[in-house]
Structure 1
Amino acid sequence: MNRKRASFIAAGTAALLATGAIAVVASAANAAGSVTASFTTNSWETGQTATYTITNGTSNAITSWTVEFDLPAGTALGAYWDALMTQSGTHVVAKNREYNGAVAAGGTTSFGFNTTGAGAPTNCTVNGAPCAGGTQPPPPTTAPPTTTPPTTTPPTTNPPPPPPGGGGNQIVGYFAEWGVYGRNYHVKNIHTSGSAAKLTHLLYAFGNTTGGRCAIGDSYADYDKAYSAADSVDGVADTWDAGALRGSFNQLRKLKKMYPHLKVIWSFGGWTWSGGFTQAAANPAAFAESCYSLVEDPRWADVFDGIDVDWEYPNACGLQCDTSGPNAFTNVVSALRSRFGPSALVTAAITADGSNGGKIDATDYAGAAPHLNWLMPMTYDYFGAFNAQGPTAPHSPLTSYPGIPQQGFNSDAAIQKLKSKGIPANKLLLGIGFYGRGWTGVTQEAPGGTATGAAPGTYEAGIEDYKVLKNTCPANRTIAGTAYAKCGSNWWSYDTPATIGGKMTYAKSQGLGGAFFWELSGDTPDGELIGAMRNGLG
């Protein structure tokens, strides 16, 4: 089936805190002959995402570390990663995890956390000694600004205009047309799970791209399948009257009537059906005309509020390779915007390869951004059992971490690279996967282990829904802002409500337009994950 998947190939170096980030250094990092810890933060008026980097400046390896510090009064610890952290009053203690306690002579490791309140820590010690390696340093002189918020977040007094269709707390989710078969997930489930009330936009995936045109993906699922009263959104059965609309399109029509705030966008392409974009790029105007005629077909014109382009990947390789050049993507979305007009939603799911010379660099996404309501970097599927022997690694890391198999393959690297190219932060949405990726034949609990192949999955080896994994292999470890677990010889990584909360805090700290996810049927029947997204974005 047509599965969202990013296939990353290019190598490079991550941009960990790139242009626009505010770095506050709270203690000196390298006092010769000492174990030291330095503090950096991306801060905003009401919170921060912070990192401590521990440097072993001694001539001997260390096997464990403990960092302690005091937060300003009223500042509370939130989500954290790559450490075990506790807070008592204003005092915080962070201890290494099992995988990052050993630091070689001259080596470094790090951990991160979020806080409410943006003050820098004081009284920092590492293994009982001052973090600076000498006498306790004075309070930092470069505290987060109190009158003018950092440029990485929207100012509260004069915020930048949101992208058309809203900004800041958008929650955009994919509905897979093939889910009505084996998965038995239907439009009605979006209502009964409580997800419809939390969504701002629904992406219907996928329409096909073939012969340089937009085409129907599955006519039976889309507009022919008849729903009984029991399975229908509004309890009314479909009819076989001449000209009557059935299938998911009619169910979406009913869902929109029930939830007038909800916008529905038809997504074209995906991993399997992106090959047609190459021919579309040869004549963007003809492609746009075909898409407009299909999306605005009188039988379902009221169902859709726009079009989404999921081209995997322009001027790069996915299932197929495209060599249309760096301007092809801009030409296609510009033509779509011209044909659909300024009031329609025109959006795009894009690569999240933040490596130097990688897929983001292969295409002029900044040139396309003015024509789009938002861009959705697919910040998941970085690692998985498509590399059957491993190394094991979380498929959706928020940040880099020591030992990550490929630099630039993390959410923050992608976001920072896209922002550095001039794409407005509020036109970027952070991606969340409602599923895990896993290996089997794994003996090592910590990331970086070898494997013998893909772990068994309900529908596809190496992939499993969150609603299944939360029971069969509950996550009991975190790294780089996401979760993982080893159950028997199987090793899985996936996001949980807790790690999603941390990612939503990150999205807000970066001034992003919100978040999106793939896809609805992976969530629990009561919508645990989308609930965490809504609670996190507010």
Structure 2
Amino acid sequence: MVGLASPAEAATSATASFVKKSDWGSGFEGQWTVKNTGTTALSSWTIEWDFPSGTAVGSAWDATVTGSGTHWTAKNLGWNGSVAPGASVSFGFNGTGPGAPTGCKLNGASCDGGSVPGDNAPSAPGIPTASAVTDTSAKLSWTAATDDNGIKNYDVLRDGAVVSTVTGTTYTDSGLKAGTDYSYTVQARDTADQTGPVSGAVKVHTTGEGGNPDPGTGGKVNLGYFTDWGVYGRNYHVKNLDTSGSAAKITHINYAFGNVQGGKCTIGDSYADYDMAYTADKSVDGVADTWDQPLRGSFNQLRKLKAKYPNIKVLWSFGGWTWSGGFGEAAKNPAAFADSCYKLVEDPRWADVFDGIDIDWEYPNACGLTCDTSGPAAMKGLTSALRTKFGKDYLVTAAITADGSDGGKIDAADYAGAAQSLDWYNVMTYDFFGAWDAKGPTAPHSPLTSYNGVPKAGFNSADAIAKLKAQGVPASKMLLGIGFYGRGWTGVTQDAPGGTATGAAPGTYEAGIEDYKVLKNSCPATGTVAGTAYAHCGTNWWSYDTPATIASKMTWAKGQGLGGAFFWEFSGDTANGELVGAINSGLK
């Protein structure tokens, strides 16, 4: 209990405590918690502390943090300064270096909050091991955590939620469902009730028949991309996969995107990925996030979705159009790149969420947003290193070009050699044509086959798949790509493809592109060409896939012996997931 500076505020007491929520050697995630232990409300708070030389604060959230030399100061934001009696408020930051804070002061007085000074948080326990697994129970055991003043007990977390607090290093969880996947982690509490970082995760599959949802695609892959930025302006969250019915019809999710920087895999959007707090109405299971839970954001929502749909596998996709520039540096040291990716994907906070990694390099030894000169063997080197690091039990996949033209992007890299290390390729058989050619000619952006008047030979799905097969890529390792959006022009008078235009048609988020869920009503299809639909309404001309064209594409994919299909991306579909449903039905 710390009395604050003014005698008039003697009834207002508070503590501040620090914990490293995770530590990856060169850096860590730190969290400070202010607790009002008095009888009157705190109106504001300021924490000061010192780090040893070589340890510093990077990005911070829920507080304004400033530094001067080795001295750091954190002040509340406008919305979290008031702390009621008995309540707590926390803020976090990403730190660099190995040190711990000392000399803590809260509102000018000693923090006396347990961990700083004089009482460090406990270490992470060992990764649990599972034994005696039955239809409805599993026994967990782990090695003890360490602490300078002793361990009081352990929290056992199932799928990210605490299910029990025990004093020993074993726990038997019961009341489980047969034939179901669960994920367990453990965190220690010391004698001051501080929690340390969570352990790594162990996956447990109970015995027996579980009756898990199954998309019924006969072994074919039905994979959708979920974007981290979709949670903002699009207001599209993991829960939408459930409410739309899509989760029951897919096999895999690619979470897009992680970044590639300095030859390493890095976080794309930390707030959306693992820090955004979900209210009950937007949460998959209807349970709101709490301020102190180990994992929030879309990663935690994906964990909840997998608990409800255990057949779904989730991959973390790195790169994409904007972030592919980092792959050239990664290709210089593939082993170091693979090691960084493994450490990030298998971070103890979310290791149970991901079943593998996907890389979206646009484009090896060719030009996308930037041009790459890594050479034709770079893709094979990168995928081989990833497979070596991740091993046979993880999925390793890649999204690749569908440029089937002579001397085009497929010819620029050894895709057959790289395929030896991969489970499959997501062949991006869309965006062949669009309003980047502002004056046209109008053309379908996702043609299945060539047609009379196609603007460029080889720019269609069939030619791309044929070229990859000819290179030596097995058909079963290729997925056909479907766009859940249209591309369009304006200033068009001609209904059939091949018309002239004056520019890109207006779109909700970007000119020249619009979601299927909008186009199906605002500009219904007026014809089909090369296995896909087009629409002419007013002076706008759009091309996009419909349930009917998807059905024909799935029939073609099965006839080619392809491994299934994938799509970009979930939020373009209708609220009842009609395009996902069309892929699911077509693959059966």
Superposed CA RMSD in Å reads 0.9
Aligned to 2:257: 206
**Structure 2 residue 283 is matched with structure 1 residue 232:** yes
**C-alpha offsets along residues 367-418 of structure 1, whole Å, 9 cap, x if unaligned?**
0111000011100000000111111000000000000000000000000111
Aligned to 1:190: 241
CA distance in 1, matches of 2:284, 2:219: 29
Query: Which of the pair has more CA radius of gyration?
Result: 2
C-alpha contact (below 8 Å) 1:435/1:466 kept by paired residues: yes
Q: Give the letter for the 1:185 counterpart.
A: Y
C-alpha contact (below 8 Å) 1:266/1:306 kept by paired residues: yes
**C-alpha offsets along residues 45-65 of structure 1, whole Å, 9 cap, x if unaligned?**
xxxxxxxxxxxxxxxxxxxxx
Aligned to 2:79: none
C-alpha contact (below 8 Å) 1:295/1:307 kept by paired residues: yes
Q: CA deviation at 1:167?
A: 7.8
CA distance in 2, matches of 1:169, 1:374: 12
Aligned to 1:280: 330
Aligned to 1:494: 544
CA distance in 2, matches of 1:480, 1:510: 17
Q: CA deviation at 1:169?
A: 1.7
- 1:328/1:167 Cα in 2 relative to 1: closer, same or farther (>3 Å)? farther
1:378-527 paired onto structure 2 within 5 Å: 378-527=428-577
**C-alpha offsets along residues 112-140 of structure 1, whole Å, 9 cap, x if unaligned?**
xxxxxxxxxxxxxxxxxxxxxxxxxxxxx
Q: CA deviation at 1:323?
A: 0.4
TM-score, with normalisation over the residues of structure 2? Answer: 0.63
C-alpha contact (below 8 Å) 1:168/1:512 kept by paired residues: no
**C-alpha offsets along residues 154-208 of structure 1, whole Å, 9 cap, x if unaligned?**
xxxxxxxxxxxx9852101000110000000000000000111111000000000
Q: Give the letter for the 1:197 counterpart.
A: A
Aligned to 1:342: 392
- 1:170/1:224 Cα in 2 relative to 1: closer, same or farther (>3 Å)? same
Aligned to 1:365: 415
1:100-179 paired onto structure 2 within 5 Å: 168-179=219-230
**Structure 2 residue 374 is matched with structure 1 residue 324:** yes
Gaps of at least 5 residues in structure 2 are: 1-216
Q: Give the letter for the 2:278 counterpart.
A: Y
C-alpha contact (below 8 Å) 1:168/1:426 kept by paired residues: no
Q: Give the letter for the 1:416 counterpart.
A: A
C-alpha contact (below 8 Å) 2:218/2:587 kept by paired residues: no
Identity rate of aligned residues, in percent? 76
Q: CA deviation at 1:443?
A: 1.1
Aligned to 2:316: 266
What SS is found at the alignment partner of 1:360? helix
**Structure 2 residue 363 is matched with structure 1 residue 306:** no
CA distance in 1, matches of 2:345, 2:574: 31
Q: Give the letter for the 2:462 counterpart.
A: D
Aligned to 2:201: none
1:7-86 paired onto structure 2 within 5 Å: none
CA distance in 1, matches of 2:444, 2:218: 29
**Structure 2 residue 548 is matched with structure 1 residue 535:** no
Aligned to 2:344: 294
Q: Which aligned runs of 4 or more in structure 1 are off by greater than 6 angstroms?
A: none
Q: Give the letter for the 1:311 counterpart.
A: W
Q: CA deviation at 1:343?
A: 0.8
TM-score, with normalisation over the residues of structure 1? Answer: 0.69
What SS is found at the alignment partner of 1:437? strand
Aligned to 1:51: none
CA distance in 2, matches of 1:354, 1:167: 29
Q: Give the letter for the 1:277 counterpart.
A: F
C-alpha contact (below 8 Å) 1:168/1:511 kept by paired residues: no
Aligned to 1:124: none
Aligned to 1:13: none
**Structure 2 residue 268 is matched with structure 1 residue 217:** yes
Q: Give the letter for the 2:403 counterpart.
A: D
What SS is found at the alignment partner of 1:485? strand
Q: Give the letter for the 1:426 counterpart.
A: S
CA distance in 2, matches of 1:170, 1:297: 26
CA distance in 2, matches of 1:424, 1:332: 19
CA distance in 1, matches of 2:542, 2:303: 37
Gaps of at least 5 residues in structure 1 are: 1-165
Q: Give the letter for the 1:464 counterpart.
A: E
CA distance in 1, matches of 2:535, 2:516: 13
Q: Give the letter for the 2:287 counterpart.
A: V
Q: CA deviation at 1:319?
A: 0.1
**Number of aligned residues:** 372
What SS is found at the alignment partner of 1:173? strand
What SS is found at the alignment partner of 2:226? strand
Q: CA deviation at 1:246?
A: 0.3
CA distance in 2, matches of 1:531, 1:471: 18
Aligned to 2:124: none
Q: Give the letter for the 1:341 counterpart.
A: G
Q: Give the letter for the 1:324 counterpart.
A: S
Say which of 341, 353, 372 aligns to 2:403: 353
Name whichever structure is richer in strand by fraction: 2
Q: CA deviation at 1:495?
A: 0.1
